[in-house]
Amino acid sequence: MNIHTIADHLNSLADNSDTGMSFDCQPISGEVDVLQISILGREELPIFVSVTEDQIICICYLWGLDEVKPESVNAMHESMLEMNIPMPLTSFSKIGDKYVVFGALSIKSNFIDVEHELAVLSNNAVEVIDDMSEYLL
């Protein structure tokens, strides 16, 4: 399992995905290969996938610290911690000054697991932005 096999699989699904979503994959080459996955209709919220020795990490960027109402930062952090377990397969994190949701899968996962993860992550991301927009400027 690497980003290229994942890309090949998702691109080959076309309209026949189990999740009803259409994926478009774009590898970004660099020191670590990253796969940028756009979901039809949700191009504004791409998911980035990188594969390490033991896991597949899928990350969706939510917003920057600069988009958060300064007086709401603590309340937002609390909500994120509280929602971490109820939210299926997805967790909150922060990379630099950007808040993200991510899912980590075992390297032994199959393509169906990866596809499911991406669909759930995307749904969660949209819902999180909708429901947490009260904390945003």
Partner 1 sequence: MSIFKKIMTAIRGGASEAGEAIIDANATRIFEQEIRDAENHLTKAKRDLTGVMAEQMSAKREVDRLGREVTEHEGYVAQALEKGDETLALAVAEKIANLETTLADQQQAHDSFSGSADRLKDLVKKSERQVAEHKRQLSMVKTTESVQRATAAITDNFSSSNSKLLSAKDSLERIKAKQQKFDDRMKAAELLESEDSDSSLQAQLKAAGIGAQDKSANSVLERLKAKKK
Q: Which residues are at the interface with partner 1 (CB under 8 A)?
A: 28-32, 34, 36, 41-42, 44-45, 48, 50, 52-55, 57, 59, 61-63, 67, 95-96, 126, 129-130, 133, 136
Is the Cβ of residue 12 or residue 20 nearer to partner 1 in the bound state?
20
Return the half-sphere exposure (C-beta side, CA atoms, 13 A cut-off) of residue 93: 13
Is the Cβ of residue 1 or residue 129 nearer to partner 1 in the bound state?
129
Q: What's the rounded Cα separation, in Å, for the pair 71 and 44?
A: 27
Is the Cβ of residue 52 or residue 112 nearer to partner 1 in the bound state?
52
Length of the chain: 137
Residue 42's DSSP bridge partners are none
Smallest gap from Cβ 127 to partner 1, in A, equals: 10
Q: What's the rounded Cα separation, in Å, for the pair 119 and 131?
A: 18
Smallest gap from Cβ 100 to partner 1, in A, equals: 9
Here the tokens at position 92 are: 């909150």
Smallest gap from Cβ 136 to partner 1, in A, equals: 6
Is the Cβ of residue 112 or residue 136 nearer to partner 1 in the bound state?
136
Distance from CA of residue 43 to its chain's centroid? Answer: 12
